[in-house]
């Protein structure tokens, strides 16, 4: 089976590529390397240096004749989306429509889409938030990711393209881009290893649901292989405060510095944790890596590669 992974040089996408290749899939990557890294590229995959907004994307589809698409290419920075919503919408919405049109014209069987659970629900009315929770994003990034979910539902109804949308919690792990939604782990790890003082925005009592990247890659594989469509939360259901996260990383890295506090950032939720019962029931997926173990692996990877 032939699979296209957009954003396959990025943090999460590259782990998905590695897993698909390990499972015997024929994998191609489309990535413009604006945030993805050459060193993340798996040499066993074909690589096309291309923006998903580019009309030349059709040529890749025509040449390769894919069966499936796993869509991770996106503008992923919450704070930048607040500053520049037009850029965010162009990349995340228009780029995705360009991709979907290719899927439509070249008869793709299914698309797996990386959505967000950390930014889509807004300030939760209840925790953990399930897929039926009202969608009330606090930032353009959350809006743009949600809009594409509607397009996926429409393309399924109109053109028969099956889809799975995975609403990620805050993904962390080796290769993490510090600009990403859960960049706090990468940023703090790098700072502590250099004995530089990291900044906690606000009082640090804000909570996040941290899920390990290899567990997330597994959810993509299951979404591809199972005969299902729909939207699923991918997380742990566990809240961890930024203060607690910082203390854990300080201890693991044996750093000699302490974090400082700065001003709170607009557009970011106060608390979030995702209900993953549906993913467990329908996908057969559950997180396997605990936070402490995942952070130790992340620190060791960063120590070797920083």
Q: Domain segments of the chain: what residues? A: 2-173+210-236+273-288
In angstroms, the CA 114 to CA 164 distance is: 9
In angstroms, the CA 263 to CA 258 distance is: 17
In angstroms, the CA 77 to CA 245 distance is: 20
At 273, list the tokens. 């944790």
The residues facing 48 across adjacent strands are 30
What are the backbone angles phi and psi of residue 304, rounded to the nearest 5°? -80, -30
For residues 102, 50, 39, 178, the Cα torsion angle rounded to the nearest 10 degrees is -90
Is the separation of the CB atoms in 147 and 165 below 8 Å?
no
At 84, list the tokens. 């520049």
Which residues lie below 8 Å from residue 87, measured CB to CB, with a gap of 6+? 75, 80, 81
Which residues lie below 8 Å from residue 251, measured CB to CB, with a gap of 6+? none
Q: What global pTM score does this model have? A: 0.96
Q: Mean pLDDT, 10 residues at a time, over the chain (306 residues)?
A: 98 98 98 95 98 98 98 85 88 97 98 95 96 94 96 98 97 81 84 94 96 98 97 98 97 96 87 98 98 97 90
The one-character DSSP state at 38 is G
Active site residue 141: yes
In angstroms, the CA 108 to CA 79 distance is: 34
**How much is the pLDDT for 83?**
86
Catalytic-role residue among 113, 121, 141, 192: 141
In angstroms, the CA 106 to CA 65 distance is: 7
**How much is the pLDDT for 178?**
63
CATH of domain 2-173+210-236+273-288: 3.40.50.720
């Amino acid at each position: 089976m032939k699979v296209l992974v957009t954003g396959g040089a990025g943090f999460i996408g590259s782990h998905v590529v590695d897993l698909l290749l390990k499972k015997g899939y024929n994998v191609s990557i489309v990535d413009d390397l604006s945030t993805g890294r050459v060193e993340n590229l798996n040499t066993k995959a074909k690589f096309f240096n291309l923006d998903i907004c580019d009309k030349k994307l059709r040529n890749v589809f025509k040449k390769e004749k894919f069966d499936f698409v796993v869509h991770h290419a996106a503008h992923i920075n919450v704070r930048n989306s607040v500053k520049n919503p037009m850029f965010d919408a162009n990349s995340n919405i228009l780029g995705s429509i360009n991709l979907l049109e290719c899927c439509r014209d070249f008869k793709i069987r299914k698309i797996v889409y990386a959505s967000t659970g950390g930014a889509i629900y807004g300030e939760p009315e209840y925790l953990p938030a399930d897929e039926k929770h009202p969608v009330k994003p606090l930032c353009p990034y959350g809006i743009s990711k949600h809009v594409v979910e509607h397009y996926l539902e429409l393309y399924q109804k109109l053109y028969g393209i099956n889809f799975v949308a995975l609403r990620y919690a805050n993904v962390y792990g080796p290769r993490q881009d510090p600009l990403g939604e859960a960049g706090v782990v990468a940023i703090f790890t790098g700072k502590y290893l250099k004995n530089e003082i990291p900044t906690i925005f606000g009082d640090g009592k804000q909570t996040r649901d941290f899920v390990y990247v290899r567990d997330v890659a597994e959810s993509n594989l299951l979404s591809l292989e199972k005969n299902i469509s729909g939207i699923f939360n991918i997380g742990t259901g566990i809240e961890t405060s930024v203060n607690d996260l910082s203390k854990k990383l300080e201890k693991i890295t044996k750093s000699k510095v302490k974090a400082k506090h700065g001003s709170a950032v607009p557009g970011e939720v106060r608390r979030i944790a995702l209900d993953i019962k549906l993913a467990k029931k329908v996908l057969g997926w559950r997180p396997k890596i605990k936070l402490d173990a995942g952070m130790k692996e992340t620190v060791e990877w960063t120590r070797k590669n920083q």
